[in-house]
Amino acid sequence: MDDKLFDELLVSTQEAKEILDKKKTPNRVFYIDEPNAKDIRSKFNLTQNEFANLLNISVSTLRNWEQGRRRPEGSARVLLNIANSNPEVLMAL
């Protein structure tokens, strides 16, 4: 790695630390909507078992989401949002 790239990386990591320490605000923020698994499943007219199999998750995970004990995170949240906005994509699988 050349010196210029290293210096840029160093500045970037210092900025990231300041953001984490709440000393600086990030330049941009991304929000991913909180999906409602039960409403999405209802759109498909599927049972919990069928919807869990479609998403390749356990039924207990789906139940926890639907009953509010847990919340989908990361890629599961993105997948549910895709299913909600483009159900034909999920059904094509």
Task: Please tell me the distance from the alpha carbon of residue 13 to that of residue 7, in angstroms, as a whole number.
Answer: 10
Say which residue the tokens 């409602």 belong to: 36
Q: pTM for the full model?
A: 0.65
Q: CA of 75: how far to CAs of 7, 21, 34, 52, 78, in Å?
A: 32, 26, 12, 15, 5
What's the mean pLDDT when you consider all of the chain? 91
pLDDT, tens digit, 9 for 90 and up, residues 41-72:
999 999 999 999 999 999 999 999 999 999 99
pLDDT over threshold 80, residue 23: yes
Q: Is the pLDDT of residue 21 over 90?
A: yes
CATH architecture of 37-92: Orthogonal Bundle (1.10)
